[in-house]
Structure 1
Amino acid sequence: MSITTTTIARKSIAVAGASGTIGRAVVRECVSRGYDVTALVRSEAAAQLPELEGAQVTTVDVSDPDALARVFKEAVPDTVISCIASRSGSPKDAKAIDLDANLNLLLGAQAARTQHFILLSAICVQRPRLAFQRAKLAFEAALTDAPIEHTIVRPTAFFKSLSGQVERVREGKPFFLFGDGELTACKPISDADLARFIVAQADDPKAYGATLPIGGPGPAITLKRQGEILFEAAGREPRFRRVPVGLFSLFGGVFSLGAWASDWLAEKAEYARIAEYYATQSMLVWDDERRAYDADATPEFGSDTLADHYARLLGKTN
């Protein structure tokens, strides 16, 4: 009697932006699911990150389409997950990374006959006013028009983006509020929960062609509530200090006066606009008919809470 064995090929996934916080979580999730993972990083130092263990780590310049084509020709991924994002949000950086580098990834994926391209975008592109938002939308449009299956994931706020005042509170300083602290709200999502959501789309044909907003477990929380949660985690009485939102417009206007002659001033003006945007706009699904953000329409996923995250940062839990 002869025995025939059949080897079933494992799904192969290439993760771009693998050295970022979300990228590392996505790589870990892919490895845990038993996929063949190629982690694309920009530097040799990033290639040594322990979180990328179990993946084939490849250093490549995402601004070089020929280099990416060579990587994809060798790896031949079934799915490409792009977690790349501009670090500063400046117009020059946004075009180079959020648009051009993603276009390079898309071309490389198409040449390798990749089946599925998953893009990590952002929920704030619903109401674009900033350079990085317009760059992300330009790539979303290119991806939608390309002859490849695609999924666009638009998360709300990350835990990391809500952790900037942890040290202030630890040191007994007040928590800064923009206005009264009730101007905006979000459903923040952890790196691990977001990674699970993203990678789950790689196995779901129903995700093809979908644009998916996603938040963490509700309810939606305001900036003031974020501060209260942080003080609770620190075991301190809440102390707040209000910052007028109009300051950002003032600074942006001043920097804009010389933006035509100075890249430095142009960047500072954009940073002021970014700060004003996040101080006044919620990271929730936007209802265009009602002209309002809709917490109930913002999907929830995962189990990690901001309170638990703050407690870990403050050393209150293991």
Structure 2
Amino acid sequence: MRVLLLGASGTIGLATARALMQQGHQLVCFLRKTLPSTARADKPGFLTELRGAELRYGDPCSLESLQQDAFCNEPFDAVVSCLASRTGTPQDAWAVDYQAHLFALEAAKAVGVRQFVLLSAICVQKPLLAFQKAKLAFESALIESGMTYSIVRPTAFFKSLAGQLARVQKGKPFLIFGDGRLTACKPISDDDLGDFIAGCLTDSNKHNQILPIGGPGPAITPRDQGEFLFRQLGKPVQFKSVPVGLLDFIIGVLDVLGKISSKAADKAELARIGRYYATESMLVWNADLHQYDAAATPSHGQQTLFEAYKAWLAGKPAPERREHAVF
């Protein structure tokens, strides 16, 4: 298939690009003309990893650029989007997670594209934040478009859970909220997720479906993660509990300041995002039981987070966390 990929400069986008080419598709990647300084596209080896794909440049937030610079009035079989807002603040989320995708959908339909695969997020099940509402708004538009769609909602990413490696290696305690068992997830690696996304093109069972997906193995808590790292390093287990109430206090202060400062308002939203991930599991939500359901969360792939931890502790470079950096 001839595929246009949005968001190839991200780690998941790059993994998806590799998977698409490995599965034999003809790939065109649409990249920003001016990429953020943190993007993979300014790192050595990025272009080498995309060898075999055609690279086009423009502005994915512009309908005109998508039409003229991305699709170029040429036929494509499908669009795959791994594009996402980098901050999650309201303005960024609605501009990228919603409007840019709406433009891409419009431009795709104009050249006869019949299939759209979207990387979304499992956290939209309980939409409390701006970026979740923006993602859901486009999901609805895609479903109503009449185009064959696959909406992929992954659980936690490995890079999101790599942030405390350095702390533990330095002998510092592993930070947890509450007792470290408030949340659980089934993390999925970039390569396993990229393989799943690419497979949506040809697997009819994934067409016109919303697809929650996690990695292999059981669900794990932050406490599980910390205990594993200390065991691997042969260090005594040390946890430092951060009260969720501290986040509530920070959010309250920033909300007050946000009434006079847009920067403070954005920081308040970022704090709300942090609180959400500190208190909500990245698993399928069972509305009937009113709880998260690990057994109902599908798995895909080969690599577990603990296998990745072993590799990183042995010297393999940990993934770039960029907007996922917290600690």
Q: Secondary structure at the match of 1:147?
A: coil
TM-superposed CA distance for 1:315, in Å, is: 2.7
- 1:111 alignment partner in structure 2: 110
1:27 maps to which of 14, 17, 21: 17
1:33-76 Cα deviation digits (max 9, x unpaired): 22110111114662853321211111121111111112213552
CA distance in 2, matches of 1:237, 1:105: 51
> In the alignment, does 2:252 pair up with 1:253?
yes
Q: Which residue does the alignment assign to 1:3?
A: none
In 2: Cα distance, 1:50 partner to 1:44 partner: 19
Other-structure match for 2:242: 243
Question: Aligned residue for 1:142?
Answer: 141
> 2:215 maps to which residue?
216
**Match of 1:137, SS?**
helix
Q: Aligned pairs, how many?
A: 308
Once structures 1 and 2 are overlaid, which stretch shifts more, 195-204 or 70-79? 70-79
- 2:50 alignment counterpart: 52
Q: Could you tell me which residue of structure 1 aligns to residue 299 of structure 2?
A: 300
Instruction: Find the residue that maps to 1:80 and give its secondary structure.
Output: strand
Distance of 2:113 and 2:235 partners within structure 1:
52
Further displaced range: 39-48 or 21-30: 39-48
DSSP-derived class of the 1:227 partner: helix
Q: Would you say 1:15 and 2:5 are equivalent positions? A: yes
Larger radius of gyration: 1
Q: 1:51 to 1:232 in 2, by over 3 A?
A: farther
1:1-318 alignment, distance < 5 Å:
11-43=1-33, 46=41, 49-70=47-68, 71-316=70-315
Separation in 1, partners of 2:141, 2:277? 26
Unmatched 5+ residue regions in structure 2? 36-40, 318-327
> Match of 1:201, as an amino acid?
C
* Superimposed CA distance per residue, residues 271-305 of structure 1 (whole angstroms, 9 cap, x where no aligned partner): 11111100000000001111100000000111101
Query: 1:261: Cα distance to partner?
Result: 2.1
SS at match of 1:24: helix
Matches of 2:229 and 2:109 in 1, distance apart?
45
Q: CA deviation at 1:196?
A: 0.7
CA contact (8 A) 1:182 1:222 kept: yes
Secondary structure in 1 aligned to 2:86?
A: coil
Q: For residue 149 of structure 1, report the CA deviation from its aligned partner.
A: 1.0
Whether contact under 8 Å (1:174, 1:239) holds in the other structure is yes
RMSD: 1.5
Q: Is the 8 A contact 1:19 1:49 kept in 2?
A: no
Question: What amino acid does structure 2 have at the position aligned with 1:31?
Answer: M
Where structure 1 has 5 or more consecutive residues not aligned to the other structure, the ranges are 1-10
Q: Percent identity?
A: 49
The separation in 1 between residues aligned to 2:149 and 2:305, in whole angstroms, is 30
| AA at the equivalent of 1:14 | L
**Secondary structure, counterpart of 2:182 in structure 1:** coil
Q: Distance between the aligned counterparts of 1:17 and 1:162, measured in 2?
A: 21
Q: What TM-score do you get using the length of structure 1 for normalisation?
A: 0.93
Structure 2: how far apart are the matches of 1:130 and 1:218?
29
The alignment's TM-score, normalised by the length of structure 2, stands at 0.91
What displacement does 1:206 show? 2.7
Separation of aligned partners in 2, 1:84 and 1:212 = 17
Quickly say closer, same or farther: Cα 1:317–1:96, change in 2 above 3 A: closer
